[in-house]
Amino acid sequence: MKHICEFMSEGCAAAAAVLWFVSASIRLRKPNRIKRGLESGLDDAKAVLIMVYRQSRWSAWAAIAAGLAAVFAIADGLLPGTQ
């Protein structure tokens, strides 16, 4: 059981890292148009909100995976060691 908790903890931590990378890699679909709009003071609010929504969705899954990694790490620490 201790080995399963350790494996699950490491797996969830790796999944969280991948999900956070995916969240960070989400960009606007038309960066030039949006960039010009943001520089001129006229921005496309819908495109920015969609980007934020997509990033937050991936970040939420990453946070859930990190939480599961922490729970399994705690369970691994509480279980008696194998001999």
Provide the residue-wise pLDDT of the chain in tens; the chain has 83 residues.
888 888 999 999 999 999 988 888 876 555 565 555 555 555 667 777 877 888 888 899 999 999 999 999 999 888 887 54
Task: Kindly tell me the sign of the dihedral angle through the C-alpha atoms of 36, 39, 41, 45.
Answer: positive
* Helix (H/G/I), strand (E/B), else coil: 81: coil
Type of residue at 42: L
The answer to whether 9 and 72 have CB atoms below 8 angstroms apart is yes
Token pair belonging to 75: 């369970």
CA distance 2 to 41: 56
Cβ contact 68:12 at 8 Å = yes
Runs of H (alpha helix) within 26-44: 31-40
pTM: 0.70
